[in-house]
Structure 1
Amino acid sequence: MTLIVPTIDLTDESMFERNEFWPALAWLRENDPVHWHEEADGPGFWALTRYADIAAVYADHEGFSSRYGMRLGSNADAVAAVSQRMLIVSDPPDHTHLKRVLSREFGPSELPRLERTVRRVAAEVMDEAVVTGDIDFLEIAKLLPNYVVCAAMDLPREDWAWLGQITTEAFEGEDEVRRSGAHGEIFLYFEDLVHQRRGGDGDDFVSRIARARRASEVPGEERLLTDEEIIFNCNGVLAGANETTRYSTAGGLLALIERPEQWARLRTAGPEGIAAAVEEILRWTVPGVHALRTATRNAEIGGKQIRAGERVTLWNVSANRDESMFDAPDEFRFDRSPNRHITFGAGRHLCLGARLARIELAAFLTELIDRVDRAELRGTPRYNASNFTWGLNHLPVRLVPKRAA
């Protein structure tokens, strides 16, 4: 029997805007899981769609580098400017040294402070949402992660709204010029902040990072982070914290609206149910669609020969629907277990903000269950046009509050 090969173009961002990319990924998993993907205006790239292959590449940081860019369509000059100085586009040893410094700010010792902040912000945001009633839920979903990360980074309260807006523009601007300009504005903002706080004894996020020391290029010695390292990674923390939680929160609400039986069971499931639902929402929504690596040496994956210098894309969104890893992966089950999703990547590049994102989603679900009887769809959901950071950008809903006892 002749195999009919469909036309697959993972660079067609309109396919993601229409939410119509799932069949293409399913076909690749089944028929060509290590797929050579031609590009109209580029050298082409490998597309990996099975969980096991993707996890293996994540684990091999020596054979597959992040320093040459971590997404399709990135500007090579912009990547070169931040390479080995920004966490997401660096390899060991620089990646290890930078992550060690930054992870302290989101580590176990900071959890009580972060959890208090998240609970306070989630209550404030849901107060507003329930009172409003009919809303575009994305306006609410944007507030929770933005307010939390700005508070966690000790940024001036009067700047929060602008930072949320400019971060959205950096990822969802109409063209590359606008997106690059927005990133530039964020860099300038943090440059001013570093200049104000460098050398001080403040207990805020930037001051602590500015006093932190990392291993230097001279064995056995340490040095302060450079201004550029602080600025680039503050931008990374701000962007990463905003995008993932926003899309997961909105996508999780839509999944529960479309499955009232799941919502009914979740409302009575208690804390364990909320913890499980957080993981299923993350698996289901997977805002980080793909990650890019560059092969540093010849390798074989799934019987295909990868040559040094070739680009390899890891489609997290496909790994989370891999039939060999998940039972009935196209079903949303709030109590799914086990649930070893790959939404935050894996290995050394496991997302720095994964813990914070989970805390935020748990707080959102807790507030939703406490305050809302049901949510109703009031229009057509819409998605953004991106094959990198993807999710709902319009979700008209009515939140029906619980009746007072």
Structure 2
Amino acid sequence: MSAAQQPDCRPGRRPFTYDPFDPDVMADPLPYYRVLRDEHPVYYLQKWDTYALSRFDDIWNVLEINDGTFVASEGTLPSAAVLAGHNDGPVADPPLHPMPFHANFDAPIYDEVRRCTAAPFRPRNVAKLADRIRVLANERLDELLPRGRFDLTQEYGGIVAASVVCELVGLPADLAPDVLATVNAGSLAQPGSGVEVANARPGYLEYLTPVVARRRAGQGSELPIVDNLLNYRLPDGSALSDTEAAVQMLGVFIGGTETVPKIVAHGLWELSSRPDQLAEVRSDMDANVPVAREEMIRYCAPAQWFARTLRRPFTLHDTTMRPGQRIISLLASANRDEREFPDADRFVWNRPMPRLLAFGRGQHFCLGAHLARLEIAIMVTEWLKRVPEFRVDTAAAFRPPSSFQWGWSELPVEV
């Protein structure tokens, strides 16, 4: 961010403003987060009738509340078009049909549908995937390393993560490049409006709806996620259509594809730029990579914020928020909060970290957190085993402006 763009709260200067859809914020939100944490921990965005929470402890405590005070009826990542409509009181759950993504519902629907998709992501089942992920990582390295130069985000981490997602949802692994490209395209943000998930959804469903249709017809091998969704009944006794069942798989399809590659690539870049830390991690990778992974997640996770809508009044820092208003929890700001992480803007591979918010907290805690941690650890370990020296082409690295997935989408590396 240039000096002219820096947020400035000094007397006589232009007043500080924050908007997640502002082009300057989308280009580099970190300076804004610092001002928010220090000066405006509960910041009101009048245009969107929304409050931004920026401090770690505030967000930690708010996300722990699971009594119906906060709901996701308007989505966990509402677009500017949704936020532009101000609510006059509490917002009800959406209608059952056509059923939107289950995160939009409160309990019991949210909890029940989440359980339908949860089985493959439980720790014991995730552990069984370790050997397969290791094979996928080494297959990619076999192909990439002889080339000498390639993209660390897309061609290494991206293809491995997308291959795992394909296998979990019943797609052939050779579709991984297409799935990765589709998800990346759907995550591109427009200045002033952010990510329009609804526009990208038809492209995602082209992959997922046929999978559901095949399982409904009894074709193919068992797929716990799909089979559980087909057997699920809503409170009115109705079943999900093929499209509705496919919509419930979007969290796995999108979240499992786009986040891990950015953390792996960015984390390896941070280590490569600190030879002393890289040497310490290499000295005992079995013990040290899982530790470094947590700092990579804190420092490099691209997700910026998630939203909730109030159904009950809530007061924080002497500010009372009304039913119908929204909050956005700035997770990326929380992970740079000096109150929780001393010297938070510095990457420290073995930083003590008793708490972390990159995967959220409470009812909406990331379903794939165990899998993401496993994938990151394996991809980093296999890379460090096989690549003694590497250099990131920093001049060619690209991090597109985004209101949500602000991460290095292109990270060329030379080996």
TM-score range, shorter chain: 0.7 to 0.9
Q: Deviations over 1:311-365 (max 9, x none)?
A: 1110000111111211221111111122422001100100111111111100111
- In structure 2, the CA distance between the partners of 1:132 and 1:200, relative to structure 1 (3 Å rule), is same
Does 2:308 match 1:282?
Answer: no
Q: Which amino acid aligns with 1:182?
A: A
The residue identity in structure 2 corresponding to 1:343 is: A
Change (3 A) 1:17 1:253: farther
Q: Hey, what's the Cα distance between the residues in 1 that align with 2:98 and 2:239?
A: 18
Structure with the higher fraction of residues in strand conformation: 1
Question: For the structure 1 residues 260 and 88, does the alpha-carbon distance in structure 2 shift closer, same or farther, using more than 3 Å as the test?
Answer: farther
Between the aligned residues of both structures, percent identity stands at 26
2:172 matches 1:164: no
Equivalent residue number for residue 7 of structure 2? none
TM-aligned CA deviation for residue 109 of structure 1: 4.1
Q: What letter matches 2:212 in structure 1?
A: V
Within a 5 Å distance, the mapping from 1:318-333 to structure 2 comes to 318-333=333-348
**Secondary structure, aligned partner of 1:36:** strand
Alignment match of 2:23 (pick from 7, 14, 18)? 14
Match of 2:388 in 1: 373
- CA spacing shift, 1:223–1:277, aligned 2, 3 Å: farther
**Matching residue of 2:62:** 57
How many residues align structurally?
390
Q: Deviations over 1:196-244 (max 9, x none)?
A: 2115273134553345446x426xxx87655344211222211010111
Q: Does the aligned pair in 1 maintain the 2:113–2:229 contact within 8 Å?
A: no
1:396, distance to aligned residue in structure 2 (A):
2.0
Q: Aligned partners of 1:102 and 1:361: how far apart in 2?
A: 21
Report the equivalent of 2:412. Answer: 396
1:26, distance to aligned residue in structure 2 (A): 0.8
Give the SS at the match of 1:397: strand
Larger displacement relative to structure 2 (267-276 or 156-165): 156-165
Shift of the 358–87 alpha-carbon distance from structure 1 to 2, 3 Å rule, reads farther
C-alpha separation between the residues in 2 aligned to 1:168 and 1:302?
A: 38
Residues 54 and 210 of structure 1, relative CA distance in 2, 3 Å threshold? closer
TM-score by length of 2: 0.85
Contact 1:58/1:346 (<8 A) preserved: yes
* Contact residue 213 and residue 224 of structure 1 kept, 8 A: yes
Bigger mean CA deviation after superposition, 45-54 or 263-272: 263-272
Q: Secondary structure at the match of 1:172?
A: coil
Is this contact kept in 2: 1:146–1:241, CA < 8 A? yes
Judging changes above 3 Å, is the alpha-carbon distance between structure 1 residues 293 and 210 closer, same or farther for their aligned structure 2 residues?
A: closer
Partner Cα separation in structure 2 for residue 3 and residue 324 of structure 1:
29
Counterparts of residues 12-161 of structure 1 (less than 5 Å): 12=21, 14-15=23-24, 18=27, 20-39=28-47, 43-61=48-66, 62-73=68-79, 76=82, 85-140=100-155, 141-161=157-177
Classify 1:249/1:301 alpha carbon distance in 2 versus 1 (closer, same or farther; 3 Å).
same
| CA distance in structure 1 between the partners assigned to 2:289 and 2:17 by the alignment | 37
Confirm whether residue 243 of structure 1 aligns to residue 262 of structure 2: no
Further displaced range: 173-182 or 224-233: 173-182
- Judge conservation of contact 1:48–1:313 (CA < 8 Å) in 2: yes
Cα RMSD (Å): 2.8
User: What amino acid is aligned across from residue 162 of structure 2 in structure 1?
Assistant: N
Counterpart of 1:204 (choices 199, 223, 243) is 223
Q: Structure 2: how far apart are the matches of 1:337 and 1:185? A: 41
Cα distance in 1 for residues equivalent to 2:98 and 2:369: 22
- Aligned 8 A contact 2:152 2:410 in 1: yes
Q: Which amino acid aligns with 1:64?
A: F
- Consecutive unaligned residues of structure 2, counting only runs of 5 or more, are 1-9, 84-92
Q: Deviations over 1:349-395 (max 9, x none)?
A: 00111111111100111111101112212242221211212201221
* Aligned partners of 2:189 and 2:403 also within 8 Å: no
Q: 1:281 to 1:311 in 2, by over 3 A?
A: same
CA–CA separation in structure 2 for the residues paired with 1:368 and 1:185: 32
Q: Which residue of 2 aligns with 1:315?
A: 330
CA contact (8 A) 1:13 1:385 kept: no
